[in-house]
Chain A
C-alpha cells in the first residue's frame, strides 16, 4: 500500500472514529422505556431471533434491516439513538409464514437497532445490532 499524506489522514480519522464508537448512546434510557412499554417489563431471552443490518450504513436516511423471529406473534423494532426510539411493530397474522420481515429505516447517528419479539408462549426474545452511520459525506 502506497502511504500518502491523504492516507495517513484517513488512518487518523479511522482511529478517531473507532474511539468515538465506544461511547454508549446517551438516549439509551428512552429506548429502555419504549421496550418496557412493549414487554411490560418481562425478562427477555436471547438467541432465538436474528436481526440483519449493515455494520456501516452509507446513508442513515435509508438503512435496510430485516428481522427473522420464528415462533413470534409480534416483533417491535427500536433504535436507541434516534430522538424517538420506536421504529415499527410487526403483528403476524394467521397467514404469515416465516415470522420475519424487512424494511428500510432512518438512523440519526451510529447506534444500536434492537428487535424485541413476543413469542407464542408469551415470553420475549431480543436481539440487537450496532449500525455505524457515516456522516460527513458529500451532500446535496
Chain B
C-alpha cells in the first residue's frame, strides 16, 4: 500500500513518526468523521479516497480531534460575531435575514460548488453576492480573514455529513473543464495535480508527505501560515510550486477546478475547519 511510504523513510533514521492512517478514525468531541471511503464512480484511477488528515503526523492530527485545541475555532468565533455585525447601506447583518443563525446552512457546504442560474458558484460567491446585493456592503477579499472565517463557520454546519457535489446536468460542462485542468501539466516542472495527488499520494515530495489533495476540510488552518487558508489559495500555491503562472483566486478556472476536486471527495465527510501542516 502506497500510503505507508513515510514508514520507509522513518526506518532510515526519521524514527517513530506515528501516522495514524492505518485504521485510526477521526472523532471530534464524540462525533465520528469518515476519513476513508470508496472512491466515487467517476474516479478511474483510485479505489479508495482518504482525507488529508490521514497523512499528517499524530501531533498535527491531535490538533483537530478537540475543537478547543483546533486553532481554527478562534476564527469561527470571530465569524459568529461577524454574522451579527451590521454592515453596508441597508443596515443589515447576516442574521437580519438568516434568523435561525448559521445552523440554517447545515448541509450547504457538502453540496458546493453548485450551478445557480447557469453560473458555477462557490461559497465565497454566495457570501459576497449577499453582502453586495442584500446588505449593500463591500465585498470581502477572497482569502481575507473575514471571508475565510465566514466560509469556515458555514462549512462547520456541515461537518460530519458526506461531501456530495453534483457533477451532471448543468454542472457537467464546468466539471469537465475542472477535470481537464486537474490533468493538465503546468509550469517549468510540467506537473499536473494528478502527478502528486493521484499518482504519488503517500510518498514524500522533499519534506512533504503527499496527500490525495482532498478539499473536504477547507478552509483549513495551516500551521505554516497560522491562519485559515482558502481552497483557491491552496490551488494557487500548488500551481506556483510547479513554477507556473497561476490562475487568480476567484477565477473561473479555479471555480471549475474546485468543483472537480470537491467531486473527488464525494463520500468523505466534511471536516471544515481542518488542521494541516
Report A-B touching, CB under 8 Å. yes
Whole-angstrom distance from the CB of B257 to the nearest CB of chain A? 16
- Contact present for B14 and A140 (CB under 8 Å): no
Q: Does A15 contact B (CB under 8 A)?
A: yes
- Contact present for A6 and B200 (CB under 8 Å): yes
Q: Does A46 contact B (CB under 8 A)?
A: no
Whole-angstrom distance from the CB of A65 to the nearest CB of chain B? 10
Q: Does B106 contact A (CB under 8 A)?
A: no
Which of chain A's residues have a CB closer than 8 A to the CB of B126? none
A1 to B2, CA, bound (A): 9
- Contact present for A17 and B13 (CB under 8 Å): yes
Cross-chain contact of A64 among B8, B62, B226, B238 (Cβ < 8 A): B62
Known pairs A10-B203, A14-B12, A137-B207; A59 contacts B277 (CB<8 A): yes
- Contact present for A6 and B203 (CB under 8 Å): yes
A56 to B205, CA, bound (A): 16
- Contact present for B205 and A138 (CB under 8 Å): yes
Known pairs A17-B13, A56-B14; A139 contacts B224 (CB<8 A): yes
A58 to B17, CA, bound (A): 10
Cross-chain contact of B14 among A7, A62, A132 (Cβ < 8 A): A132
A 69-108 to B, binary, CB cutoff 8 A, 1 in contact else 0: 0000000000000000000000000000000000000000
Residues of B69-95 at the interface with A, using a CB-CB cut-off of 8 Å, are: 71
A 1-44 to B, binary, CB cutoff 8 A, 1 in contact else 0: 10000110011011101100100000000000000000000000
Residues of B157-214 at the interface with A, using a CB-CB cut-off of 8 Å, are: 200, 203-208
Q: Does B56 contact A (CB under 8 A)?
A: yes
Cross-chain contact of A61 among B56, B204, B223, B236 (Cβ < 8 A): B223
Which of chain B's residues have a CB closer than 8 A to the CB of A14? 9, 12-14
Which of chain B's residues have a CB closer than 8 A to the CB of A137? 205-208, 277
Chain B residue at minimal CB-CB distance from A55: B16
Which of chain A's residues have a CB closer than 8 A to the CB of B208? 134, 136-138
Q: Does B15 contact A (CB under 8 A)?
A: yes
- Contact present for A10 and B15 (CB under 8 Å): no
Chain A residue at minimal CB-CB distance from B57: A58
Cross-chain contact of B9 among A10, A58, A64, A138 (Cβ < 8 A): A10
A132 to B17, CA, bound (A): 11
Tell me the B residues contacting A by CB distance below 8 Å: 5, 8-9, 12-17, 56-57, 59-60, 62-63, 71, 200, 203-208, 222-226, 233, 236-238, 240-241, 277
- Closest A-B pairs by Cβ, 6 of them: A140-B237, A137-B208, A18-B13, A134-B207, A58-B277, A14-B12
User: Can you name 12 A-B pairs with beta carbons within 8 Å?
Assistant: A1-B8, A17-B13, A18-B14, A54-B57, A55-B17, A56-B17, A56-B57, A61-B224, A61-B225, A136-B206, A139-B224, A140-B241
